[in-house]
Amino acid sequence: MYRYKIIIEYDGTDLHGFQIQKKNNTVQQLVQSTISKILKEKIKIIGSGRTDAGVHAWGQTAHFDSKKIINNTGKLINSLNFFLNKNLISIIEIKKKKLSFHARYSARERIYEYVVLNRFASPSIDKNKVWYIRKKLDLKLIKKASQKLSGKKDFKTFQASNCYSITSVKTLKKIIIKKRDKKIIFHFKSKSFLRNQVRSMVGCLVYVGQKKWSLKKFENVLKSKKRKLCAPPAPAHGLYLLKVNY
């Protein structure tokens, strides 16, 4: 048996997330069935984690096992992309790994990016790729509030009700917020995240930037560990799984 790591890029707009579902197109289902068809054996792919419907990825990582050794990965990538590109999925890399490698459990850190378009005019090119907010946001306040999120904390406030993580305590290694033209870009780095954590954090930070919440209110909501006090999560279409490091 041989194990292979794959890196997947996808536009999540018309996909129902990563994990297989019975009736809807998902990344896992489409990639898995296409690899199985080309390799002529039943293949199961294991992802580094789930992404919800509408979420995009530049560098989702997964692995699969095959009875065959793949000598020409370039040829396989071309064949896979011939079928997958119509669903806006691309295989970027295939690399042979040791059997001890696991796309989910071997990951040291995951990096997510969230993009807000903050301008008067609504987007055309970036439609379904950013969270469009017309009212000007206070970037200084957003950055001050974000400092409260760094480090090891109980992020239960930002945990979705359908998240089955053993603990809501996570370590947010790094958070960077920068402005590029009219876009505000959030970078979050952690070994793992709770379901909806990134979108919920962004939703709360935007409340601060809109001056709906004070910095003190933001801090109190974080410390409360009560999901009902959380701001509405940011829309899925502004979120990107940027990279998984091993």
Q: What is the pLDDT of residues 74-85, one digit of tens each?
A: 999 999 999 999
What pLDDT score was predicted for residue 157? 95
| Structural tokens at position 5 | 């790591």
Q: How far apart are CA 116 and CA 11, in angstroms?
A: 17
pLDDT in tens, 170-208: 999 999 999 999 999 999 999 999 999 999 999 999 999
Catalytic residue among 52, 126, 138, 181: 52
Provide the b/e sequence for 38-48 (b: ≥16 CB within 10 Å): ebeeebebbbb
What pLDDT score was predicted for residue 22? 82
pLDDT truncated to tens, each residue of the chain (246 aa)?
999 999 999 999 999 999 988 888 999 999 999 999 999 999 999 999 999 999 999 999 999 999 999 999 999 999 999 999 999 999 999 999 999 999 999 999 999 999 999 999 999 999 999 999 999 999 999 999 999 999 999 999 999 888 888 899 999 999 999 999 999 999 999 999 999 999 999 999 999 999 999 999 999 999 999 999 999 999 999 999 999 999
Q: How far apart are CA 125 and CA 117, in angstroms?
A: 12
| Structural tokens at position 74 | 């370039």
- State whether residue 70 is helix, strand or coil: coil
Is the Cα dihedral 199, 55, 131, 181 positive or negative? positive
What pLDDT score was predicted for residue 5? 98
What pLDDT score was predicted for residue 161? 84
Residue type, 77: I
This prediction has a pTM of: 0.94
The answer to whether 52 is a known catalytic residue is yes
The domains found in the chain, sorted by start residue, are 2-97 (3.30.70.580), 109-245 (3.30.70.660)
